[in-house]
Amino acid sequence: MPVHFLDDRIAIATEVQRLFRDAREIYCIVAFWGSGAEQLFSGMNRRKIKRTKIVCNLTMGGTNPNVIENLRNTGFQIRHNPTLHSKVYWTDSGVVVGSANASANGLSLEGRDQDGWLEAAIFSSRESEINTVQQYVNEIWAQSNMIEPQDMQNAHARWRRRRPFPTARNNLTFVEALMQGRFSGRSRQIYIQVDQQEIADWDDAMAQAEVLQNQHMDLQGLNLQPWEGYPEIPRNQYIVDYWFSPPDPFSFQGIWRTLPEHYDDPPAANGLMYQFAYSVNAREIGMTNDQRDQMTQIMQCVVANHWEWLEEQGCCIHLEQLLDPQINDCLAQAMHNGQ
């Protein structure tokens, strides 16, 4: 599609990297740059590329100056603008405009410092939009300043004394947030999975994960989790994962985003079909760690007192099914305990 919506950080990073791989010209008018942002350019065809220009903001303490020095050392032309707050990634074949600053980890500031912010952007490969945005990036480039040695010294000083960037906050209990619909209305839904089946050949499953990562650049660096024998697991969605197989105790395993179904193929070497997901943290789904722990205690109650109900759902439920009247005793208990 010539225009489409990018609804999270991974989608934005994947599109930006794809654009850079095919580009002859690159302009990044992006205010803040975090550790690892150099990896965004790792697939760039240096024989094909004519110029790469970056404008950043060095004055607010939000850009890691070491990243800027690394990019300058590779031959990129870089200027700074003290009033810049834009996030525009332009190439001769397409443009991404959105909310995301530049780093390798899903385009968030300084690795995982900004976990919890919900990012979004628009991609366009229409010639009219490419030309319009090109005028903008050329104007910003012309208005911006050459980087002098003193600018870098000041940037290093600001970076050393910077305050941590805030993360998204949510002071509600899990039940309060659930009842208020705080986890609803997302483009990707949240499910709860209770696993009972171990992977027969873990080494084979991880070998298949490595094959996928070698074949797909957008999967490289992700912590992939395999499932075996769960073909019905919701795809391209979030899964809060638990393990329950007596005598093993009920336990929280992690929060994952499942890969689309086409990543299931081809079957692994032993003929088994795996489903894959990659690890995210609670803030990725708009949930605090306290809320995650409170949800785990509710699920312990569901497993202990309503196992037949859970089995009827296939041991995989939508998060909002926790509001089912059949298990309201578990929510009532959580509310009584301040959860």
Domains of the chain (ranges, CATH numbers): 3-160 (3.30.870.10), 174-336 (no CATH)
Among candidates 288, 295, 206, 205, which has minimal Cα distance to 250? Answer: 295
Q: Does residue 76 register a pLDDT over 90?
A: yes
Mean pLDDT of 268-286: 76
The span from the CA of 87 to the CA of 31, in Å, is 6
pLDDT of residue 115: 45
The span from the CA of 303 to the CA of 33, in Å, is 45
Strand-strand pairing, 77-80 and 145-146? antiparallel
Mean pLDDT of 100-106: 61
The span from the CA of 138 to the CA of 241, in Å, is 48
* Between residues 81 and 235, the one the model is more confident about: 81
For residue 238, which phi and psi values (nearest 5 degrees)?
A: -95, 140
Q: Does residue 142 register a pLDDT over 90?
A: yes
* Between residues 10 and 278, the one the model is more confident about: 278
Among candidates 261, 252, 270, which has minimal Cα distance to 230? Answer: 261
pLDDT 10s digits, 221-274: 778 888 876 667 788 889 999 988 888 888 999 999 888 877 765 555 556 678
What six digits make up the tokens of 133? 């945005």
Assign 3-class secondary structure to the chain: CCEEEECCHHHHHHHHHHHHHHCCEEEEEECCECCCHHHHHCCCCCCCCCEEEEEECCCCCCCCHHHHHHHHHCCCEEEECCCCCCEEEEECCEEEEECCCECCCCCCCCCCCCCCCCCCEEEECCHHHHHHHHHHHHHHHHHCEECCHHHHHHHHHHHHCCCCCCCCCCCCCHHHHHHCCCCCCCCCCEEEEEECCCCCCHHHHHHHHHHHHHHCHHHCCCCEEEEECCCCCCCCCEEEEEECCCCCCCEEEEEEEECCHHHHCCCCCCCCCEEEEEEECHHHHCCCHHHHHHHHHHHHHHHHHCHHHHHHCCCEEEHHHHHCHHHHHHHHHHHHCCC
pLDDT interval class at 332 (50, 70, 90): confident
What is the pTM for the complete model shown?
0.52
The span from the CA of 76 to the CA of 51, in Å, is 7
Alpha-carbon distances of 246 from 197, 300, 305, rounded to whole Å: 11, 13, 15
pLDDT of residue 111: 39
What are the beta bridge partners of residue 3? 124
pLDDT of residue 109: 35
Q: Does residue 307 register a pLDDT over 60?
A: yes
Mean pLDDT of 62-80: 91
The span from the CA of 298 to the CA of 330, in Å, is 6
Residue 150, CB-side half-sphere exposure with 13 Å CA sphere: 1
pLDDT interval class at 175 (50, 70, 90): confident
* Between residues 127 and 315, the one the model is more confident about: 127
Q: Does residue 71 register a pLDDT over 70?
A: yes
pLDDT 10s digits, 20-55: 988 999 999 999 898 778 888 888 888 889 999 999
Q: Does residue 106 register a pLDDT over 50?
A: no
For residue 142, which phi and psi values (nearest 5 degrees)?
A: -65, -30
What six digits make up the tokens of 234? 């919701």
Q: What angle do CA 168, 173, 177 make, to 5 degrees?
A: 70
Q: Does residue 107 register a pLDDT over 70?
A: no
Tell me how far apart the terminal alpha carbons of the chain are, to the nearest angstrom.
44
Strand-strand pairing, 238-243 and 190-195? parallel
The span from the CA of 25 to the CA of 277, in Å, is 34
pLDDT of residue 98: 92
pLDDT of residue 168: 44
Name the average pLDDT for the chain: 82
